[in-house]
Amino acid sequence: MSFNDIIKSSILEGFDTDVSTEKIIVTLLFAIILGIYIFFVYKYKSKSSFYSKDFNAVLATLPIITAGIVLAMQSNLVISLGMVGALSIVRFRNAVKNSMDLLFLFWSISIGIICGASLYEIAIILSVATTILLFVMDLIPNKKKSLLLIINANNTNIEKKLIPIIKENTSSYTIKSRNISKDKVDLIVEVRSKNELELVNKCYKLKNIVSVNLL
């Protein structure tokens, strides 16, 4: 046997030239079930303002299409090379608006590849593990975002009275800017407020305060 024959046979051994109808049906069935599963998880997880039914339909369909591509690539070397060439020239220019959408896209495509490789148990375990992780992370509370407290006063000594009030009504604060002119002072303070309304009201009630803004 020549060297070329050895290379040819070793390459062809990796291809299943006889993909049975039963294998195709089982693979696509698993891809459909898991695609529908991803559809409902995404629908539940997405905020109502960001939810797109069309995008969710794409997520549910991707595993089926990807699984079909993988099956076709397994069956024939020519198709495999053709798919690689065709996919390499495709450019997707639709921007992903939410970072969570990127996770679901990758999940959906991965399920299709895994099902196409007939690794159904891995696809199921991956889907369950991903779902559990998503919902467990929801239980972790978000750190309160910083706000900007902007205070305008006509007394340059007002800061001495403001600081105790800010300390009392915030978990942390940082003076970001202090602009002092004749009989006027403008303060910008980064705060993590416990009660925004109470903080603004208490600051505004001080004498010589012209305006209080919380952004």
Do residues 186 and 151 touch, judged by C-beta distance below 8 A? yes
What tens digit of pLDDT does each residue of 48-70 get?
656 788 888 888 998 998 888 88
Q: At what angle do helices 21-45 and 99-116 cross, to 10 degrees?
A: 160
Domain ranges of the chain: 3-139, 147-214
DSSP per position, 192-207: EES-HHHHHHHHHTST
Do residues 159 and 187 touch, judged by C-beta distance below 8 A? yes
Question: One digit per residue, pLDDT tens: the chain, 215 residues?
Answer: 554 554 445 444 555 556 788 888 898 999 999 999 999 999 888 866 567 888 888 889 989 988 888 887 776 655 555 555 555 555 556 666 677 888 888 899 889 888 888 889 999 999 999 999 988 887 877 666 777 888 888 877 777 888 888 888 777 778 887 887 777 888 888 887 777 777 777 877 788 788 887 77
Kindly indicate whether the domain formed by 147-214 is annotated with CATH number 3.30.70.260.
Answer: yes
**Distance separating alpha carbons of residues 55 and 9, to the nearest angstrom:** 43
What tens digit of pLDDT does each residue of 116-154 get?
888 899 999 999 999 999 888 878 776 667 778 888 888
